A and B are shown apart, each in its own frame.
Chain A
Amino acid sequence: MIAVSIKNLGFKYEKSDTWILKDISLDINKGEITVITGGNGSGKTTLLRCIRALIPNVYKGELVGNIRIFNQDLEEMDPLELVKTIGIVFQNPETQLFSSTVEDELVFGAENICLKRDEIHKRLNSILELTGIEHLRHSNPNNLSGGEQQLIAIAAVLMMDPEILLLDEVLSWVDKDNRSKILDILRSLKDKGKTIIMVDHIEENIRFADGILRI
């Protein structure tokens, strides 16, 4: 099954003259880990933004081409569907975490989509276990290392139980130990049938990918 189908995608940011993305077409299968790599300014982050519909909703510019998610036009998905289907984790944990405890951070998203208390409880416990941060449940995210913060950011997005997970250079601020933890988590997610698209420029992180797109 094809999770993400991109056809002739092109994008130019509003204030720019250059087309950052030019005629990109690719199909990403469900349950696979795809890595997008390339030099600075090559458009990796831009591509992720398009897949998550942040372009053109948040980032303005000229967009051409078409993206389909599980055979549905991305354009036609409403915000709630997007939230529940595609999760995205960004590079800087600082701007993704704003709660006073890890538990609060994780339940924030679940509360937003009106999950009932016992469902939130279930998901919370399962995600805490999956990401190995049960011991941080009551900690203040501000006092944790970049690597731990990134684990929390990923856990927070996983609380939405998205089918597709996008990761934008999430390993940049992460030390070696937490890096391998994150890669393990991604492998478990793949086993559960989740589709993962990761932007990364470090070769050694790419080795386990099912597919690599170099742009």
Chain B
Amino acid sequence: MKPFRELDPRSKIFYVALVSTLAVLLNKLLPLLILLMGSFIILYLCGGNGINTLYRLRKLIFILVGISIIQSIFNNDGKALIQLGNIMILTDYGLFRGLQFLLRLSVIIVSSSILLTSTNRDLTQGLLQLRIPYEIVFMLLISAKFLPLLRDEFKNKALAMELTGIDFKKVSLEKKLTAYKYLLLPVTVNSLLKSKEMAIAMEVRGFRSMDRRTSFRELKLRIFDYLFIFLSVVLGSLFLIFK
């Protein structure tokens, strides 16, 4: 397990790209299911929280139902499983398409979760060493920092509003909307002002003052990384061959 925990972030990025592509290329449900289970195992080995991810996936059930029904109604193939008069609410084809989509999406989500097992710093360094332009990488980094702050801002203001005695459950819709306006405007303005300040703080420390930048840290691929990448490619190919 230890070598998995020390996987280079670039290996993880490669793995996610590979698995996501496979998910799109594979059609049958069984290989997709095996791919999903494999992703869970890899996630677990890398120290990710599989149970958490599984819990979050349960919300996808709605997508399953939605797509199944839509495909059933608008596609005349397949035998009806649930019928309402002349309209086929659910066909086996529709169900198949729904499940297919669900599995594909799940594979992509679960495999991407592996990226969360690396620290932000490692991931940015990995992206930088993969020659992604540093402006883009830092944009991602700042967004990752910003989003939770934005969420906190909302929470705090909503709390303050409740304390003023406006019981959100009891006021009319019109008043509720006005109240939300008071919530949205300052948060938006605040964010803009904050990001301006952050941009200035970065600029006065030389960000973009030169064409390139050096790197204090350096990620080096280890033997296990090469092994991991190699095996991923081999297994991936097998999947495709035995579609």
Contact = CB atoms under 8 A, between A and B. Distances in A.
Are the chains A and B members of one assembly? yes
Interface of A: 52, 54, 58, 79-80, 82-84, 87-88, 90, 92, 94-96, 98-101, 104, 107-117, 120-121, 124, 156-157, 159-160
Nearest to A157: B205
Given A101-B121, A104-B121, A111-B213, A83 B205 contact: yes
Q: In this complex, which of B203, B209, B215 has the most chain A Cβ atoms within 10 angstroms of its Cβ?
A: B209
B187 to A, nearest CB: 15
B194 A99 contact: no
Nearest to A120: B216
A27 B203 CA distance: 26
Contact of A90 (B197, B208, B214): B197
Given A98-B142, A114-B210, A160-B206, 15 more contacts: A54-B204, A84-B206, A95-B201, A96-B197, A111-B216, A112-B208, A113-B210, A113-B213, A114-B214, A115-B214, A116-B214, A117-B214, A117-B216, A157-B205, A159-B205
A54 B197 CA distance: 11
B44 interface: no
Contacts of A94: 194
Contact of A83 (B142, B145, B209, B214): B209
Contacts of A109: 205-206
4 A-B pairs with least C-beta separation:
A112-B206, A109-B205, A95-B197, A107-B216
Contact of B213 (A98, A99, A112): A112
Interface in B184-243: 194, 197-198, 200-210, 212-216
B204 A100 contact: no
A214 B129 CA distance: 50
Contacts, number: 84
B229 to A, nearest CB: 26
A83 B206 CA distance: 6
B141 interface: yes
A111 B194 contact: no
Nearest to A110: B216
A204 B176 CA distance: 48
B134 to A, nearest CB: 9
A84 B119 CA distance: 30
Q: A-side binding surface: helix, strand, loop or mixed?
A: helix
Given A95-B197, A104-B121, A52 B209 contact: no
A50 B204 CA distance: 13
Contact of A58 (B142, B200, B206, B210): B200
Interface of B: 119-121, 141-142, 145, 194, 197-198, 200-210, 212-216
B27 to A, nearest CB: 41
6 contacts: A54-B204, A83-B204, A95-B201, A100-B119, A111-B215, A112-B207
A83 B142 CA distance: 21
B210 A112 contact: yes
A158 to B, nearest CB: 11
Contacts of B141: 98
A72 B213 CA distance: 27
Contact of A114 (B145, B201, B203, B212): B212
A100 B119 CA distance: 8
A109 B203 CA distance: 9
Contacts of B212: 114
B200 to A, nearest CB: 6
Q: Which of B200, B204, B207 has the most CB of A within 10 A?
A: B204
A179 to B, nearest CB: 21
Given A90-B201, A96-B201, A157-B204, A114 B120 contact: no
Contact of B121 (A88, A99, A117, A120): A99
Nearest to B216: A107
B206 to A, nearest CB: 3
Nearest to B194: A95
Given A100-B119, A113-B209, A117-B214, A92 B204 contact: no
A69 to B, nearest CB: 15
Contacts of A108: 202, 205, 207
Contacts of A84: 206
